[in-house]
A and B are shown apart, each in its own frame.
Chain A
Amino acid sequence: MFRYVVRRLLQMILVFFGTTFIVYALMFAGRSDPIQALAGERPVSPQVRAQLTEQYHLDDPFFVQYANYMANLLRGDLGTQLSGRSIAGILQQAWPYTIRLAAISIVIVVVFGITAGIIAGIRRGGIFDNGTLALTLLVIGIPVFVLGFFAQYLFGVRWKIFPVTGGAGTFYALLLPAIVLGALSLATAIRLTRTSIAENLRADYVRTARSKGLAGRRVVGVHVLRNSLIPVITFLGVEIGNLMSGAVVTERIFNIPGVGYQLYQGILLQDGPTVVAIVSILVIIYLICNLVVDILYAVLDPRIRYE
């Protein structure tokens, strides 16, 4: 187990360097004129352009820029934006919002997704099952920005149940954005749990457990659930990363000054260092989540072992 974890961690270093390189290269290739962004649609004088290009090393060749960036990164220096603000400071401010948002989302997904999935799975073909089927299909079909604006208008502007924006950062302010953010995952989690439970309920070991005279609650709660949760856990592990990066759209709609917003701005202003910094952290989160999921397999299913 220990050796397995170490091996995975070493692999992560390689993946980390690979992704930063790719993202940096993409940003570099797509960059035309980040200085223009500082002046809106007004012309920038060639003097100022030359000066800023020099200050931020914008005309150095790709590998020089990348090497400089990585050298600074390894020293813990994420660099500065063209407006002069330190990227580390920006991220420090932004991450708590996104982490909070994603955390609330994932709780909603886990609690409501698995519960509803279990009920639907047990009472297959019932009203609840058909109801959730229709509802989840609907949610999966609607793009998140439509859902976001719709929810914002209905709950925020029309009925005034939730604040329109989540910028305050409180649990209450973030609840609606978190529901919107988690809606797709929630729907998928319900479908996944339901299918998995329904399938396992017909398995031989369930019949055995029932014929042993075990209570229905124990049969479902221990025997079925534990086996049924393996695909769901895999899904949720990947989904944590998705929720953090998926916040780009949700954060914009609900005006939450988190990482998604910074990422969006970074791409818009062609600010390579910010984008690479954020994406690198997202990659690390993905990798760690994946590792945790793989380890969880062994907990859920003792048949799975790591040498």
Chain B
Amino acid sequence: MNVRRLAAWIALPAAVALGVSACGGGSDTGGGSTNGGTVSVNLGEPEHLVPSNTVESEGHQVVVSLWTSLVNFDGEGKPVFDQAAAESITSSDNRTWTVKLRDGMTFHNGEKVTADTYINTWNYAAYGPNAQIGTDFFSRIEGYDDLQTGDSPNATPKAKTMSGLKKVSDTEFTVTLSEPFAEWVKVMGYNVFAPLPAAAYAADGTLKPDFENAPIGNGPFKMKGTWNHNQNITVERYQDYSLTKPKVQEINYKIYQSQETAYNDLLAGNLDVQRVIPTSRLASAKNDLGDRFRSTPSSYFGYITVPSYIPAYNKPQIRQAISKAIDRNEIITKIFAGGYVEAKSWVSPVVEGARDDTCGDACVFDPTKAKELWTQAGGVPGNKLPLYYNSDGGHKEWVDAVCNQLNKNLGVQCVPSPVAQFADLRQQARAHTLQGLLRGAWSFDYPSIENYLTPLYATGAASNDSQYSNPTFNQTVQQGDAAPNTAEAIQKYQAAEDILAKDMPTIPMWYRQNNFGFSPNMKTVDLNLFADLDVLTLERN
């Protein structure tokens, strides 16, 4: 073999490689400037794009572009019907709710949105065998239980339709709940209640498998092309939209695997809006972006659960001592680079009825007082205080910091105890087997103060990790649910929150901020209550 043949051996794969790489698909950058132009927004690959199956933030962002919800919320978290799919939702007894739909709304394929569309969609979403992730939202509606399979997943449910849904006319229907619930309107503001067109269903009543590749909604934007998995989802302004049309022609959701990369793309000018700035870049974001970096309150409430099922921990003094021994602001500045704000209550400031400081003295950092309370109450067995967290969520740094503070200020041996996966940690938390403190966090399902109370602290509730049980608390919340109007309901809920302040089943830590940023091309960028980008106010320069 001579040199030439050898060269051929090397050159051949080279040629193949260049050939392969040359046929890569071309891609566009920037946007057409016709009619408001195109805005590029970062996104993670969604799990699903069917509203009733979408509760994670990435899919939900696309869903709010394609669907209009029944209820919107104003700056104070109060439900409003401006730009909403419903004209009004009213009830005299908080049990039977009358939904009046706006006339003239159509799906992107031209189909009319009627009372039937909603009833069919909700029955589909609530039907057990369809296994929709958002099905829980429908559980307050009368007849929901008949659509479930119970303990045996193979069984056929008793009914296919919920008895609580009744059509009145093409634009009006009633929803009857199994128990009165004063805050129900707020629940219906979430997009799992969005309607599906008849075109979405196959002959057997299930959804067509390819529907979510090009979902059809009733919202301000419609799909442009199909879901380009792991790459992008593009939506364009729906020309026949009957409400106020959006200000931009197109939104291009670019799918990123890592937020750091998206941030670099934002700096390089290839991305217009980044919905979440990664914590690692928060410190430099203010410098990099100036006033194009924004921080708004979110519904995310971070806390530490104290077990009520271990006697030594079931004392208010012990809980107050732990709370007073933690310097939240130091951790927020040093570790979160200001991406969180200190929490002095149990309800995120974004919902109606939230108050700034319900915790009072117990949430004020005071190491001397903390140590006093701790000694008085007798401490914990073995002077060992485990703090459990999941190591797949970036919690290690702050958990270590909290433990250091507790060690220093209480003279206790706080042990950061990682559990590899979030799911594992949840499993152990549900089983109440953890022998110590537990990190926790809660974002609302619907923007109501009630959602920060019942699921977390009602006796036997699914996320009541502390196994907290106070009959007065349960009773007060129930009184709120049954209250004749919102104002009275909120009063009751606030009274329930005050009970938490005395018992402290959880120690409030902080509220997360929505930290987002945008390029100089953008004029208006807002987030809504659900931390989704507001697609209606979005505007380019």
Contact = CB atoms under 8 A, between A and B. Distances in A.
Interface string A243-277: 00000000111110100011011000000000000
Interface string A30-51: 0011101111111111011011
Contacts of A33: 421, 423-424, 426-427
A55 B132 CA distance: 12
A171 B21 contact: yes
Interface string B193-208: 0000000000000000
Given A152-B261, A165-B265, A257 B21 contact: no
A67 interface: no
B136 interface: yes
B168 interface: no
A269 B463 CA distance: 22
A84 B136 CA distance: 21
Nearest to A167: B231
B57 A221 contact: no
A265 B45 contact: yes
A269 to B, nearest CB: 9
Contacts of B265: 164-165, 255
A84 B21 contact: no
A222 B3 contact: yes
Interface in B126-152: 128-129, 131-133, 135-136, 139, 148-149, 151
A21 B270 CA distance: 43
B13 A255 contact: no
A225 interface: yes
Nearest to B46: A83
A90 interface: yes
Given A50-B153, A257-B230, A168 B270 contact: no
B20 A100 contact: yes
A222 B422 CA distance: 60
A251 B257 contact: yes
B462 A43 contact: yes
Given A33-B427, A47-B148, A51-B128, A160 B268 contact: yes
B25 interface: yes
B154 A54 contact: yes
Given A41-B422, A156-B264, A156-B268, A299 B1 contact: yes
Contacts of B21: 100, 103-104, 170-171, 174
A111 B135 contact: no
Contacts of B10: 110-111, 114
A168 to B, nearest CB: 4
Contact of B24 (A51, A149, A170): A170
A127 to B, nearest CB: 27
Q: Which residue, B9, B153, B255, has most C-beta atoms of chain A within 10 A? A: B153
A135 interface: no
A111 B15 CA distance: 12
B431 to A, nearest CB: 13
Chain B interface bracket (under 10, 10 to 19, 20 to 34, 35 or more):
35 or more
A38 B17 contact: no
Contacts of B132: 48
B420 to A, nearest CB: 8
Contact of A164 (B22, B229, B261, B443): B261
Contacts of A171: 18, 21-22, 24
A110 B135 contact: no
Given A51-B131, A164-B270, A257-B230, A39 B3 contact: no
Interface in B255-270: 255-258, 260-262, 264-265, 267-268, 270
Interface-central residue, A156, A174, A264, by most chain B CB under 10 Å: A156
A39 B48 CA distance: 10
A157 B281 CA distance: 14
B400 interface: no
Interface centre among A41, A52, A100, A156 (most CB of B within 10 A): A41
Contacts of B258: 252-253, 255
Contact of A93 (B230, B424, B441): B230
B20 A226 contact: no
A140 interface: no
A85 interface: yes
Interface in A89-134: 90, 93-94, 96, 99-100, 103-104, 106-107, 110-111, 114
A174 B443 contact: no
B445 interface: yes
Interface in B9-32: 9-10, 13-14, 16-18, 20-22, 24-27
A107 B209 CA distance: 41
Most A CB within 10 A of own CB, among B133, B154, B424: B133
B283 to A, nearest CB: 15
Contacts of A114: 10
B422 A152 contact: no
Interface string A138-163: 00000000000100110011001001
Given A32-B424, A33-B423, A47-B148, 4 more contacts: A47-B135, A50-B153, A103-B21, A225-B6
Interface of B: 1-3, 6, 9-10, 13-14, 16-18, 20-22, 24-27, 45, 47-48, 55-57, 128-129, 131-133, 135-136, 139, 148-149, 151, 153-154, 209, 229-231, 254-258, 260-262, 264-265, 267-268, 270, 421-424, 426-427, 441, 443, 445, 455, 462-463
14 contacts: A32-B421, A33-B424, A40-B57, A42-B445, A48-B131, A48-B133, A104-B21, A164-B270, A165-B265, A168-B27, A169-B24, A170-B24, A225-B6, A296-B9
The 3 closest A-B pairs by CB, nearest first: A103-B17, A33-B423, A257-B230
